[in-house]
Amino acid sequence: MYSRSQQLFSRAQQSIPGGVNSPVRAFKQVGGTPLFIKKAKGAYLYDEDGNQYIDYIASWGPMILGHAYEPIVEAIREKVYDSTSYGAPTELEIEMAELIKSMVPNVDLIRMVSSGTEACMSAIRLARGYTGRNKIIKFEGCYHGHADSFLVKAGSGVATFNIQTVPGVTAGVSADTLTCAYNDLAAVQQLVEANKGEVAAIIVEPVAGNMGCILPQPGFLEGIRSLCDAEGIVFIFDEVMTGFRLAPGGAQEKLGINADLVTYGKVIGAGMPVGAFGGKRAIMECIAPLGNVYQAGTLSGNPVAMIAGFTLLNELKAKPEIFAQLEEKTAYLHKGLDEVLSASNVEYSINRLGSMISVHFGKHAVVDFSTAAACNIEQFKTYFHHMLRSGIYLPPSAYESWFLNNALSYEDLDKTIQATNAFVS
Ligand code: PMP
């Protein structure tokens, strides 16, 4: 069933570290051979062995309308003939910035970069430059990319591989990254108090997606917002996963809380390598060439990447019903999974907001990294492989959210619920 993927994985390991270009792809937590993907269309992935899978990863978020969405493919095709890069400004970059501002009203200025890591790294540098302070607060199990400052108690692959200290990150850099448990407002208040006048920024995934899907409890983000206002701290929402997915205006709109800076990633490139950071004018004006906080990129605002993201965001803006449809589909899946799991003797909990969802094998509420880590990872592994054999591609780690795409049919969702039922029966 996986023979060609197995061959390719052996071959890949001869020339690519661990056979993969990003660690979570290695199936290390769940074991087995990562699938080598040949192509994808709509809600389905096709591997090199010709197997078809219902895709719940959606390239880790961006494929909101499904893979190879025709208008996006066409827009890229047309654009690419004009050249793949100029390294000079284009009108399309203005259109992109204007479109994002129209969807996210509290973004005054926005700068394009080429990945979520770059977006978050730049936002932190900017917050430090703006405030003249060095320390940042991040939350255990949140992942903001692989820049040095973020590799302290990080989620996603860092948690999946159980890496406590990342070699190569200096103790000096790590000392400036303070951490708290997600959803623990009192701990944040204490940390700010203990480091009064020294905290430049608090960065958070407003809905965490890198330790499974974890929702902010009522009052958590609101409390941090007030704290940041009182202490002159820059509040950064990392919306790399949630931006343009939870609502046209992302988590800010869905939760009704404004950040000072927002970071975006893969979604705004429709799967092309794009990221961005934006926010309040007074802060953003510190960035070069307006200010001396230096940040740059040869491929930033790349025309092919821009047209892909622009086409996706335009569709999302023009058709707000997409968000309602995604919500309905994910709620349907949630209900179906709940029914089959509750009828079994498996201990579980399901977290969901909008089209982000995850199943945790444990009875307790999963509200932060330690409650996520206390779940039965062995059971997740068996579930993952059972689902894979049933033609369903889930994230290969219990510490990742599932992402629904709007190409999924109710038949696909029923198949997923039935496969879960077969797992627990
Ligand atoms: N922030 C969040 C919330 C993410 O989920 C990710 C990656 N999944 C990043 C930042 C880093 O983005 P990238 O992998 O594009 O560098």
Domain residue spans of the chain: 3-68+320-424, 70-318
Give the distance (Å) from ligand 1 centre to CA of residue 132.
Answer: 26
306-342 core/surface letters (b: 16 or more CB in 10 A; e: else): bbbbbbbbbbbeeeeebbeebbebbebbbebbbebbe
* pLDDT of res. 286: 98
Query: Which residue in 272, 253, 274 sits closest to 263, CA to CA?
Result: 274
**Four-residue CA torsion sign, 224, 230, 233, 237:** positive
Q: In which band, very low, low, confident or very high, does the pLDDT at 345 lie, cut at 50, 70 and 90?
A: very high
**Four-residue CA torsion sign, 194, 284, 143, 320:** positive
* pLDDT of res. 161: 84
The phi and psi torsions of 163 (rounded to 5 degrees) equal: -90, 115
Query: Which among 2, 143, 383, 393 is annotated as catalytic?
Result: 143
Mutate to test the pocket of ligand 1, among 63, 144, 213, 399 (most ligand atoms within 8 A of CB): 144
Query: Which among 266, 280, 329, 381 is annotated as catalytic?
Result: 266
Average pLDDT taken over every residue of the chain: 97
Query: Which among 238, 260, 368, 412 is annotated as catalytic?
Result: 238
As a whole number of Å, the CA-based R_g of the chain is 21
What's at 328, amino acid-wise?
E
Which whole number is the average pLDDT over 141-167? 90
What would the CATH number be for the domain defined by 70-318?
A: 3.40.640.10
Given a contact cutoff of 8 angstroms between Cβ atoms, the answer to whether 188 and 223 are in contact is yes
Which whole number is the average pLDDT over 67-83? 98
Q: In which band, very low, low, confident or very high, does the pLDDT at 165 lie, cut at 50, 70 and 90?
A: confident
> Can you tell me which atom of ligand 1 is nearest the CA of 145?
11
Q: Does residue 101 have an active-site annotation? A: no
- Identify the residue whose C-alpha is closest to ligand 1 atom 13: 116
Given a contact cutoff of 8 angstroms between Cβ atoms, the answer to whether 317 and 89 are in contact is no
Which whole number is the average pLDDT over 399-419? 98
Q: Encoding tokens for residue 247?
A: 């609502």
Q: In CATH terms, is domain 3-68+320-424 a member of 3.90.1150.10?
A: yes
Residue 90 CA to residue 82 CA, distance in Å, equals 12
* pLDDT of res. 159: 84
Q: In which band, very low, low, confident or very high, does the pLDDT at 378 lie, cut at 50, 70 and 90?
A: very high
Give the distance (Å) from ligand 1 centre to CA of residue 118.
Answer: 9
What's at 83, amino acid-wise?
S
Q: Encoding tokens for residue 208?
A: 């965490």
- Identify the residue whose C-alpha is closest to ligand 1 atom 7: 145
Q: Helices 303-318 & 91-103, crossing angle to 10 degrees?
A: 30
Residue 244 CA to residue 103 CA, distance in Å, equals 8
Which whole number is the average pLDDT over 214-241? 98
Q: Model pTM greater than 0.90?
A: yes
Is the CB of residue 60 below 6 angstroms from any atom belonging to ligand 1? yes
Residue 397 CA to residue 24 CA, distance in Å, equals 8
Asked whether residue 45 carries a pLDDT value surpassing 90, the answer given is yes
Question: What residues have CB less than 8 Å from 47, skipping those under 6 apart?
Answer: 2, 4, 5, 35, 36, 37, 38, 53
**Predicted-assembly ipTM surpassing the 0.90 threshold:** yes
Residue 303 CA to residue 92 CA, distance in Å, equals 7
Quick one: what percent of the chain has pLDDT higher than 70? Answer: 100
> Can you tell me which atom of ligand 1 is nearest the CA of 60?
8
> Can you tell me which atom of ligand 1 is nearest the CA of 205?
3
Bridge partner list, 44: 41, 54
- Tens digit of each residue's pLDDT (9 = 90 or more) over 269-326: 999 999 999 999 999 999 999 999 999 999 999 999 999 999 999 999 999 999 999 9
Give the other-Cβ count within 10 Å of 59's Cβ: 17
Largest CA distance in the chain: 62
Which whole number is the average pLDDT over 75-104? 98
- Tens digit of each residue's pLDDT (9 = 90 or more) over 181-222: 999 999 999 999 999 999 999 999 999 999 999 999 999 999
